[in-house]
Amino acid sequence: MVQRFLPDAFLFAIILTCIVFLMGTVFTDSSPVDMVNYWGDGFLGFAGFCHADVADCCDGIHIGQYANREKAFDQIEQTC
């Protein structure tokens, strides 16, 4: 029942982006072009972090599902 009345998370992201954009242009000395550049620079910096985080999660899942994980951990300990 809640799914009928609760909007999609993407809609919240768009609305909050618009609010921050408007507040940034009204309450600071930044132009709309500056605000777009700030958003783009911040997003690209965050994308690198997300890539590393996803890689860590995928590695953890694969190690956890490995059938002979105790043997694999012993081999990793011996090489370190």
pLDDT tens, position by position, 17-49: 999 999 999 999 999 999 888 887 777 777 777
Q: What is the pLDDT of residue 1?
A: 62
More confident residue, 67 or 42: 42
Q: Cα angle at 37 between 46 and 22, to 5 degrees?
A: 100
Q: What is the pTM of this model?
A: 0.51
Percent of the chain topping pLDDT 70: 91
Residue 2: what are its φ and ψ, rounded to 5°?
Answer: -65, -35
